[in-house]
Amino acid sequence: MTHHLARGEYKYSGKSVPVEVRTRLDEIIEDEGLECADRFRFTPVDDNEGMHQFELVKDSGCCGSFERIIEDSTGRKWLIGCNYGH
């Protein structure tokens, strides 16, 4: 299962997000049992513009919101998240 960031022109979407980061969000959604997940979002925590875009995507969703900080294989920290439920 592969998810993509909400449609739009965002800095961290599609191929600009490492596969391992996108895959980790998929795994967390499954592990946590988050139903009706959407508004998938990703940004390195050290990128101010990305963090702003992350919040815009989050705020455009409804119902529950989930975020978590993870580390990729290079040691870079990413904030990942989604909205869920309806």
Q: Where are the domains of the chain?
A: 14-84
- Condensed to tens digits (0 to 9), the pLDDT of residues 4-32 reads 444 456 788 778 899 999 999 999 999 99
58 and 83 in contact (C-beta within 8 Å)?
Answer: yes
- Condensed to tens digits (0 to 9), the pLDDT of residues 51-60 reads 999 999 998 8
Q: What is the pTM of this model?
A: 0.84
* Comparison of pLDDT for 45 and 85, the residue scoring more: 45
The torsion defined by the Cα of 23, 53, 58 and 8, in degrees rounded to 10, comes to -80
- Condensed to tens digits (0 to 9), the pLDDT of residues 26-83 reads 999 999 999 999 999 999 999 999 999 999 999 888 889 999 999 999 999 999 999 9
